[in-house]
Amino acid sequence: MLNNKNCAITVGSFDSLHIAHQELIKMLSRFQNSCVITFDIPPKSYLSGEHFIFTLNERIKFLENFTKLLSKRLNINKPKLLVFEFPKIKNLTVDLFLEKLHRICNFSIIVVGYDSNFGKRKTPRTFKHKHISFPIQVWANIKNISIIQVPPLALSDFPNLKGDSSSLISTSFIKKLISSNKLDEVRELLGRPYSISYKVIKGKGIGRKMGFATANGTLEAFRFLPKEGVYLTSTLIEGEPFNSLTFIGDSYPYTENSTLETHILNFNRDIYGKNITVLFHKFIRPSKQFTSLKELKRFLESDKTVAQKLLKDVRPLSQQELAFFL
């Protein structure tokens, strides 16, 4: 058992750690002893095959960095992070899951979002808290556990963003924005640019021969991705951002076999084997099949020209945004 007298907890997938998730963790962080509980695989991904936005390593990094930022800002103990292997607990009912958590954390407070519902055989949200499942509230009543519900955020809270003002900020909503290449809006709702982290692997060197050396990477199965095509991006290498162009898709325009390739502008360092993070800013063009390397090179040069023009419309990364990735 963790030594967490009067501990507060929150439970969730935090697949995208968007700003509504962040508000929930801010509330949690008001308590001196607190714990964020998440899963190695988002339950929806495991149970229904729904594609996840970020990998476990990315989610842990975001959560660790965000809670570290909060602890410094509020001068409190950094919330602990507990990761459950979802396949091992997927058959636990609400009562059994909460009992398990209580043995580990000895918590007296649960901080929840507007639609909290977990455990096997989820049930309608009724009783005292309108959007929290009945068994959670019954168990909390019996155990004298307090429930704090954080209200949702809606698009109406962001007057600069377009769309149905009643739409609630959620991972599903952000997926729709990513699919529509509305990357500026995604940035607002994540509190940072949409990103993909990967380890650089060797390719065939075709891009390098044309003066467009690239950092190649592969992507995990079941990962939710933007539309295939070329994007204006920033690439973080050991915490330092560089302007870049990124192609994402099933096949490279450079005839490589990988599914992601980044050309970093004005850069010639050897980064094979390094982990990098690519931040997506603007969509440039869809994927295209080329009949020759000459045609390919002409398009790459055009992409570079377009990217340099678009750079003026990209807001510089703030220190708070960078803090998520360091």
Q: Name the nearest CA neighbour of 260 among 205, 301, 303, 220.
A: 220
In this predicted structure, what is the pLDDT of residue 5? 64
Do residues 136 and 116 lie in contact, with contact meaning Cβ atoms separated by under 8 Å?
yes
Do residues 35 and 5 lie in contact, with contact meaning Cβ atoms separated by under 8 Å?
no
In this predicted structure, what is the pLDDT of residue 253? 44
Per DSSP, 78 falls in state P
In this predicted structure, what is the pLDDT of residue 117? 61
Do residues 86 and 102 lie in contact, with contact meaning Cβ atoms separated by under 8 Å?
no
**Tell me, what amino acid is at 172?**
S
| pLDDT digit string, tens, across residues 13-52 | 999 999 999 999 999 988 888 999 999 999 889 989 899 9
Confidence of residue 120 (pLDDT cuts 50, 70, 90): low
Question: Is 221 exposed, middle or buried, given 0-12, 13-18 or 19+ CB atoms closer than 10 A?
Answer: exposed
| Owner of token pair 């990217």 | 307
Q: Name the nearest CA neighbour of 15 among 198, 127, 160, 173.
A: 173
Which carries the bigger pLDDT value, residue 221 or residue 273? 273
pLDDT at 128 over 60: no
CB burial of 270-285 (b: ≥16 within 10 Å; e: otherwise) equals ebeeeebbbbbbbbbe
Do residues 278 and 193 lie in contact, with contact meaning Cβ atoms separated by under 8 Å?
no
pLDDT at 115 over 80: no
In this predicted structure, what is the pLDDT of residue 309? 94
Per DSSP, 113 falls in state -
Which carries the bigger pLDDT value, residue 119 or residue 191? 191
| pLDDT digit string, tens, across residues 154-191 | 888 877 777 666 678 899 999 999 999 999 999 999 99
Helix (H, G, I), strand (E, B) or coil at 277: strand
| pLDDT digit string, tens, across residues 243-279 | 999 999 765 444 444 478 999 998 989 899 999 999 9
Helix (H, G, I), strand (E, B) or coil at 110: strand
| pLDDT digit string, tens, across residues 293-311 | 788 888 889 999 999 999 9
What share of the chain has pLDDT > 70, as a percent?
Answer: 89
Do residues 59 and 38 lie in contact, with contact meaning Cβ atoms separated by under 8 Å?
yes
Confidence of residue 218 (pLDDT cuts 50, 70, 90): confident
Per the structure block, which two tokens stand in for 219? 């992507």
Per the structure block, which two tokens stand in for 318? 């703030």
pLDDT at 85 over 90: yes
In this predicted structure, what is the pLDDT of residue 255? 40
Which carries the bigger pLDDT value, residue 182 or residue 133? 182
- Entry pTM: 0.89
In this predicted structure, what is the pLDDT of residue 3? 55
Q: Which domains does the chain have, with CATH numbers?
A: 7-152 (3.40.50.620), 195-323 (2.40.30.30)
Which carries the bigger pLDDT value, residue 222 or residue 262? 262
